[in-house]
Amino acid sequence: MENYINKMVLGNEITISFYIDREQPQAAARAVHKKVPDVEMNGYNWDALLVCYLDENAPDLLNELDSDPEAGMYTAMYPDSPENRERADRLCEIIEELCENEDVLQEFVQEFADEIAWE
pLDDT digits 0-9 by tens, 53-79: 999 999 999 999 999 999 889 999 999
The yes-or-no verdict on residue 42 having pLDDT over 60 is yes
In a domain, 88, yes or no: yes
In a domain, 117, yes or no: no
In a domain, 63, yes or no: yes
> What pLDDT, on the 0 to 100 scale, is given for residue 2?
58
In a domain, 34, yes or no: yes
**Rounded CA gap, 16 and 40, in Å?**
21
Name every residue whose Cβ is closer than 8 Å to that of residue 98 and which is 6 or more positions away in sequence. 28, 49, 53, 104, 105, 108
Query: In terms of Cα–Cα distance, which of 69, 65, 51 is closest to 117?
Result: 51
Total tally of structural domains belonging to the chain: 1
Which domain covers residue 103, as residue numbers?
A: 5-112
In a domain, 118, yes or no: no
In a domain, 43, yes or no: yes
